[in-house]
Every structure is written in structure tokens, then in C-alpha cells.
Amino acid sequence: MGSVPMDTPSQPHTSETPFGADARVLRPRRAAPADTVRATRAEVNLAALRHNFHVLSKHSGTTALWPVLKADAYGHGAPAVARTLERAGAKGFCVALVEEAIELREAGIRVPILVMGGYYGNHHDEVIHHGLAPVVYEAGQLEAFARAVRFLGKEPLDVHVKIDTGMARLGVRPSELATFADDLVSRSELRAFGAMTHFASADAASTDHAQDQVRRFEESLATLRQLGVKPAVRHAANSAAVLRGVGLFDVARPGIAIFGVAPRTSDGVVLSDELKPVFRVRSEVIALRDVKSGEGAGYGHLWQATRPSRVATIAIGYADGFHRALTGKASVLVRGKRAPLVGAVSMDMAMVDVTDIDGITLHDEVVVLGTQEGPLGKDTITADELGGWSGQITWEILCGISRRVPRFYREP
């Protein structure tokens, strides 16, 4: 198994702007393998990542894939993930924030990058400088981008119009399209290259609501064409929609499925059995002790031994994304066998009952997410399981692995 070097953290970009001098876009630094002291790490399987991309490409057909890499690629490390997927054939990427997009550009990504969050602060010039594609849905955004284009003396900026077809979060409502379109057409500095919408319930038991949103989106596109706005790229589908064949226009925006988590419908149907998990999070046993029957362990002695027990301390806690809500509910893998957490998960450590783990020693690997094969067997703890134990959705589990846990990139 090979290892791909970690990305070098990028530096803030500073520029003179029409909105204020010396504006800076800052990004938090991710822990790097070279800086690692403790053995806790997240391993990202790049072969599995490519496999998932090809599975989704098969489902999307002629619809191009622009994977969603917001929130540091769902915790996996956006620059390395983007480079891998760009080489695998991704035609573009989607992020939520300007700073996320700049990080990808500075990592060498050249395909289109769509900034979906709609908040640009005073950094409209940064969007133009880095060749990003902004999503717009308010008149104020049109004015700010047009002003930045004029100030910088640039060619017209390609924008993507977001239409609210039923999510009720962001987007131009169909009833307001005429006014918005008139404003957009009147600005020679802008060009409506794309149009998009966002599904509210593509993973519902029935696709009726998603199909209704598709109908409203198509009606809105027809309205825009009549008003002189003719986007070349239309997109709507997320992971669930791609796997169900709903809303496949010119581009699709899969997120969670790229990372090997198959969406489930609200009635429990798993939409794919072809995807492979990309993340594996592991730590080590850093202490072992014997606990007598009746003795407690951890803050508040939330756990008390009902038999003479062997307790292992592991070097991962809620500051790493191993949530306190897992206390008394979760298991981890040691030597290929499940062992239950005991006591409260603390900030930097957790404790495990390893009484039934034969041969346990200091520095044994402990897997909290992913697969482990050892002398006592082979098992997998999924992100879905962690979510069920902690009362979170799978998205939160992946995004919650903190930046202080270094990412190691693997080519098995």
C-alpha cells in the first residue's frame, strides 16, 4: 500500500479590491503527516474514490459529474481528492465557500469550480481573479459582480442562476424570475452560463416531490429563455438523484456517494451496493489497566465494571470528531474484533473494554471507522453505524473528523 504526500497548506491571498484594500481570505491549516506525533490518523483510499466516481458516472450516463467537495471534501481533504477526481475525469467541482474554491485553485485544479453558498463578502474580485463560477440569486449579487468586472477591466463573468423550486433556502423564486432576468440581461458584465436548482427530498420513499421540482425547474428554464437568458449548463441532481436517474440535465452534483456512502430512502432502501468506503480512521492503545468489579472509569464514573475488566485507553476523543454522544453506545475494532466503549468519551481520549480481546498489547491498532482485519477476525464499522450510535447523520460523521487528525492518502 502506497502513501501520497500531504498537501502543503496554502497561504492567504491578498489583493486590492473595490470593496476595501488588502482583503484576505484565510483558510485553517490541516494537520500534516510530517507533523504527526500520536498515531491517530484518517486514511483516504484513492482507489475507492475513483471506483465510486466511475460507478456514479455509469448511472449519470451522458450527464457530466461535478462532485461536491465542500467542507474539505466531506472531511477527506479537498485538494488531494480534487486532483484524484480531476484525473479520473471529473469535469468540474462544487464547493460552498469562496475560500474552499481558492484552496482548490491553489492546489492546481483547472476545471470549473462552482461556488454554491452565495456569500461572497467583499471578495467578488477573488472570484474573478481565480476564475471561479459564482451562483447568483439576488439583485445585490448581480450589482456587486458587475461592479467588480468593471473595476478589474475583465471579460464578462459566467454566473449560474439558482432557482428555488421547493427547497425554500436559496434561489430565485419562479414568481420573481422575470425581474431577476431583466436585471441580469441588462448587465453586459455578466453572462448566464448556468442554471441550477436543489432537491429537498431526492431520498424520499417516492420520487414524486423531486419530479415535481424537475417540472418547476423546466418551466423556469422556459421562462428564462423567453426573457433572453439561455444557460448552456443546467444542473439539479445530487447523489440520491443520480442513483435514481432523476433530474439528470447537463451536469450532476454528487456529494456523499463519491465518498462511498450510499444514500438511503426514507423507508430504508439503500440506493446502491456498488460503492466503496473511502475513509478509515484509526488510533492506538496508549494505556492498559485492570479494573476491579465495582470500580468506575472515566469522568463521572458513567461506567462501572460488573466483572474484573481490562480497560484500554485510546488516543482519540471528541476534539478529533469522535463524539461524546458515542459514550456507552459505540464499539471499536481491536485485533479484528469489536470492543465496547466504556466511560465518557473525553476531549483527547476514550476508553475501551478489552477484557475479551485476547493478546491485547500497548500500541495495538484501534479502528473507529472503517475495516480492520486482525488475528481475531475481520469487521467493519461504518459511518452509518457511528451516526446511529451518536444520533447524527452520516454527513456529520465524515465532516466532523477534525483537521487536527492528519489525512494519509493511500493507493492500495
Q: Is 140 in a helix, a strand, or coil?
A: helix
Active site residue 70: yes
In the chain, list all ranges with CATH 3.20.20.10: 46-259
Catalytic residue among 230, 299, 329, 378: 299
In the chain, list all ranges with CATH 2.40.37.10: 279-411
Amino acid 313: pLDDT: 98
pLDDT digits (tens, 9 = 90+) for 161-211: 999 999 999 999 999 999 999 999 999 999 999 999 999 999 999 999 999
Class of domain 46-259: alpha beta
Amino acid 27: pLDDT: 62
> Nearest Cα to 44, choosing from 70, 78, 94, 87?
78
Amino acid 13: pLDDT: 47
* CB-count burial class (<10 Å; 0-12, 13-18, 19+) for 65: buried
pLDDT digits (tens, 9 = 90+) for 305-324: 999 999 999 999 999 999 99
Q: Alpha helix locations (H) across 227-299?
A: 239-244
DSSP secondary-structure letter at 18?
Answer: T
pLDDT < 50 stretches in the chain: 1, 5-6, 8-22
Which of 3.40.50.10490, 2.40.37.10, 3.40.430.10, 3.20.20.150 would CATH assign to domain 279-411? 2.40.37.10
Active site residue 299: yes
Return the number of other C-beta atoms located less than 10 Å from residue 112's C-beta: 19
Amino acid 26: pLDDT: 61
Catalytic residue among 70, 120, 137, 337: 70
